[in-house]
Amino acid sequence: MNKKLMAVAVAGALAAPGMALAQSSTVQIGGSITTFYYKHDPNNASTGQSSDILETSEPEMFVRGEEKLGGGLSVWFQCTSSLDGMLGGSAAAAGLCGRNSGIGFKGSFGNVFQGNWDAPQKLVFNQGRQWWGGTNSLTGGSAVLLNGGSASGAANPVTSVVGSPVAGAVSVTTTVTSNNPGAFFRRQANSWNYHSPSWSGFSVLASFSAANEQTGNPEASTLSQRMYSFAGQYQSGPLYLGVGYEQHSDYNPGNITVGAAASAYSGGTDTNYTIVAGYKYGAFNVRALYSKSEYDVTNVSNLDVDGWALFADWAIAGPHTLRMQYATVGDTSGSSATPVGSYKGAAASTCGNNGGPSTVSCGNNTGADLWGLAYSYAFSKRTEGSVVYSRMSNDSGASFSKGKTAATGGNNQTTYGIVLKHRF
């Protein structure tokens, strides 16, 4: 990433009788600012008007530091903070060090660190989307359809087991859903991470979350909330291949509540596979992405969803670039009638109206498509402007939203506007 660096190199000797120790450290400051001004048409008169929106998209400032310890070993830190308040005047959404931040050691073995960092599965997904956003309302949407949305700076969900209101019935598990436990597009807090060096183009990534949230579980509870994420990548010349896998233990994305003793839930395993293939040929950069998620919604039922996406850039000449994205998610399948986020349950006894919008727990016609087109002009290596059009189209039984207003079954939402991005 292009950036303006403020670097301070410190070298000296700490004197002691008969001994001197040399130290060297570097500090860098940089970041990026992205602003959107666009028209949003929700096509849903009952929940929102068509309006123009001016906002930032993930603006950030980072401070990085590294100290060389000798023998090829370094200790490093990074604190990346949000600048979301620069247009709206509100406090930064992610707060100080709320974006990719951590501390660790790196050397010939790779990079081992603790932090709040994008999970390996998300990093593979990002290689597919690249310029396009994951979940924002103008350039994003692919992660909404394919990964169940995002969870940024999120810890494991906090779960609690409560007694059933029916005497003698099995207990029911409830889940706090504020960090979107159904999302596989995560910046995971309280995580250990390993990023390997490149071995002739091959590299591996791994991450797992600490189980901080388990301190609230009784000793007898079987719940053990944790995230595991792994990825393997190969990059050589114009070719990129990546495979990501992520597992959530006891995240309980179906959010079974008190009173639902018939479908009592005491935990399960949710998984996602993401595969990305990309190739650069001259002025063209094309990437294909496939994603499959499976949720253990209850003790005896599951919900499956899969989809794919295609992204392409054409560097026409000089500062001019055309970009395209297309993403589609199919109908849900599996044995669960309980929805997970915007994924509708797949096993209702009656669907009615061929899975129409009046029936929320039905797997028929629950897919959606996303189209996006953009023209970008590079004013310099650090500053770029773009004109963007994006449309999310729901099947009759789906209600995926671009994030500003709720969607109804069969609803289409469109956005079009301008983007300004500057790196410093």
The torsion defined by the Cα of 375, 378, 379 and 384, in degrees rounded to 10, comes to 70
pLDDT in tens, 23-34: 578 999 999 999
Distances (CA, A) of 282 to 188, 322, 365, 373: 36, 14, 40, 20
**128 is in which domain, residue-wise?**
10-423
Share of the chain above pLDDT 70, in %: 82
Expressed in angstroms, the distance from the first to the final Cα of the chain is 9
The strand pairing partners of 56, in sequence order, are 35
pTM assigned to the model: 0.88
Condensed to tens digits (0 to 9), the pLDDT of residues 402-423 reads 999 888 888 899 999 999 999 9
Residue 85 confidence class, pLDDT cut points 50, 70, 90:
confident
85 vs 9: CA distance, rounded Å: 32
Give the mean pLDDT of 298-318.
94
Query: Rounded distance, CA 137 to CA 413, Å?
Result: 10
Q: Stretch 127-155: mean pLDDT, rounded?
A: 96
Model confidence band, residue 7 (pLDDT cutoffs 50, 70, 90): very low
Does residue 127 carry a pLDDT above 90? Answer: yes
Query: Does the pLDDT at position 216 exceed 90?
Result: no
Residue 4 lies in a domain: no
Quote the mean pLDDT of the chain: 86
Question: Is the pLDDT assigned to residue 260 strictly greater than 50?
Answer: no
Asked whether the predicted pLDDT for residue 381 surpasses 80, the reply is: yes
Residues with Cβ within 8 Å of residue 256, at least 6 apart in sequence? 172, 173, 174, 175, 263, 264, 265, 298, 338
Cα 288 from Cα 250, distance rounded (Å) = 31
Helices (H), 60-113: 85-88
Domain-embedded: residue 261: yes
- Structural domain count of the chain: 1
CATH code of the domain covering residue 334:
2.40.160.10
pLDDT in tens, 182-208: 999 999 999 999 999 999 999 999 999
3-class DSSP string for 187-211 = EEEEEEEEECCCECCEEEEEEEECC
The pLDDT of residue 223: 79
pLDDT band, residue 161 (cuts 50/70/90):
low
Q: Is 3 inside any structural domain?
A: no
The CA distance from 343 to 189, in Å, is 25
Pairing of strands 150-154, 185-195: parallel
